Amino acid sequence: MKVITGGRVSGKTYQAIKYASENWLYILVRNRQEATEIFQMANKFGFGIPYPVTVEELKRGDGKGTSLERNGIIVDNALSVLQELLPVRINMATVEMEADSDEL
């Protein structure tokens, strides 16, 4: 798994969009508004991507038997997505990093 870190407006979502375009992967976001914003951003930068999927859609099982299961997804703003999934306040999170020499 690749992890992109950086402050606000540092290009993290741009990198996710670029990777999604290059690999035709869906981007998981918190809600429909974020999906629309990312899709519009991709179009603005000239990247073709699948329309982003929301947490609610995955909870309903909309990804069953699709390329989401086969190819995986990109999670944009992972902490907000995690917060959307969990009904409690998150005080801390850790991420296990695997050795990966691939560059985004």
For residue 96, is it within any domain?
Answer: no
Total tally of structural domains belonging to the chain: 1
Tell the burial category of 15 from Cβ atoms under 10 Å away from its Cβ (0-12, 13-18, 19+). middle
Domain around 37: 12-85
| Structural domain contains residue 46 | yes
In a domain, 91, yes or no: no
Token output for 5: 């870190």
Other C-beta atoms within 10 Å of 73: how many?
Answer: 18
**Entry pTM:** 0.83
Domain for residue 7, yes or no?
A: no
Q: How confident is the model at residue 101 (pLDDT cuts 50, 70, 90)?
A: very low
| Residue 25: how many other CB atoms lie within 10 Å | 18
Mean pLDDT of 26-32: 94
52: in domain: yes
